[in-house]
Amino acid sequence: MAPIVSDEYKMKKKKQILDSALICFAEKGYQLATIDDIVQHSGISKGAIYNYFKSKEEIYIELMNENTKELDKDIQEVLQTYNTAPERVTRLFDLYLRNKPSESPGKEKFLVYYEFRLFSMRDEGLSDLLQERKKHIFIGNLVEILKEGQENGELSQDFNRELVANTFWSMIHGATLSTIIDKDFPYHEVLKNMKAMFISYLS
C-alpha cells in the first residue's frame, strides 16, 4: 500500500521544484535549462518532478500563475483599502517602488519573465495565455480604476482609459527591464518621476 502524502507535503515539494526551476531558468535561460538541471538543483528525482509537472513549460506556467496570484492579491488590497482613483493609482506605483529588480530574488523573477515572454511569441497558445493574463491583471483592473475616477469627477475626462492603462504598464515594464539590462539604471528615481508625471496627467 502506497504511503499517504499530505497536502502540506505536496505543496512543500511543489514549491521546492518551482524555486529550483526559477534559479535554473535565471542561470541558464529558459530554453537551455533542462529538467535534469532542476533535478540536480532541487535534489528531487525526475520521476517525482513529473508527478507534479508534465513538462518544463508547465513548470514555467505555474511560476507565472503563482506570480499572477501574488500580484492580483496586491492589487485587490489596493482596491479595497483606498477609496479614490488618485490614491489607488498612487498605490499601484508604490507596489513597484517596493521592488528591487537589480537584486535577488526579484532580478531572477523578472529576468525569467521577460525572457519567456519573448520566447512565447513563437508559440500562439502561450502567447494567447499571456495576453489574457495581461488583459485581466494588468489592463482590466487599471481601466476599472480610471473609469470609476472619471465617473466620480476625480480624474480628467480627456483621456482614453485603455490607452492610459497600457501607458502605465509600459512605464513599469520599461523601468524594470532597463534595470535588468543596466545595473546602474536609477530605477526608483525614474519610477518616482513617472509617478508624479502620470498622476499630474490624470488630473
pLDDT number for residue 3 = 57
pLDDT number for residue 42 = 93
Write the CA distances from 186 to 9, 94, 105, 142, 167, integer angstroms: 42, 16, 19, 25, 20
pLDDT number for residue 148 = 94
pLDDT number for residue 1 = 44
Q: Which residues of the chain have pLDDT under 50?
A: 1-2
pLDDT number for residue 136 = 78
pLDDT number for residue 169 = 92
- Rounded Cα distance between 92 and 202, Å, is 14
Q: List where CATH 1.10.357.10 sits in the chain.
A: 57-202
CB neighbours (10 Å) of residue 122?
Answer: 8
Cell of 168: 502605465
Q: What is the CATH number of domain 1-54?
A: 1.10.10.60
pLDDT number for residue 145 = 93
pLDDT number for residue 72 = 83
Task: Specify the fold of 57-202.
Answer: Tetracycline Repressor; domain 2 (1.10.357)
CB neighbours (10 Å) of residue 46?
Answer: 11
Cell of 161: 482609459
Q: Give residue 77's identity as a one-letter amino acid code.
A: E
Residue with cell 493609482: 89
Q: List where CATH 1.10.10.60 sits in the chain.
A: 1-54
- Rounded Cα distance between 81 and 29, Å, is 38
